Amino acid sequence: MSQLNDIAHETAHRIVEQAGGPTASFDAMSAAFKQLIVDGHLPIGWPPGGRAFHVAHAAMWSEVIRLQLAALEPNEASRRAMALSAHLDYLHRGTLSGDR
């Protein structure tokens, strides 16, 4: 699992760099990830197969978000973290109920 985390971490840093830094929008991060896929510039071992893909994908986006929040002033980081938490809670409930 450590190797999987290392790959996810490296991928996250490549995304942030491709997007122009940690203050780029999440849409820019998503576009950067897609461009890395198209260009074939993802770390060796990405994407992992099976269930490991979902774990690595979540770890990768968690690291992207951590880098974004770390680049913000504390009040803005707190506001965004609360909004993200509410959004993830909404998605989680929908996934559990089968709505998504």
pLDDT digits (tens, 9 = 90+) for 17-35: 999 999 898 889 989 999 9
- Dump pLDDT digits (tens) for 35-70: 998 898 888 777 777 777 777 888 888 888 888 888
pLDDT at 16: 94
pLDDT at 95: 53
Question: Residue 26 to residues 32, 89, 98: CA-CA distances in angstroms?
Answer: 10, 18, 26
Q: Is the pLDDT of residue 100 over 50?
A: no
Nearest by Cα to 63 from 100, 33, 86: 33
User: Whole-prediction pTM value?
Assistant: 0.71
Mean pLDDT of 8-20: 92
- Identity of the highest mean pLDDT range in 43-52, 69-78, 84-93: 69-78
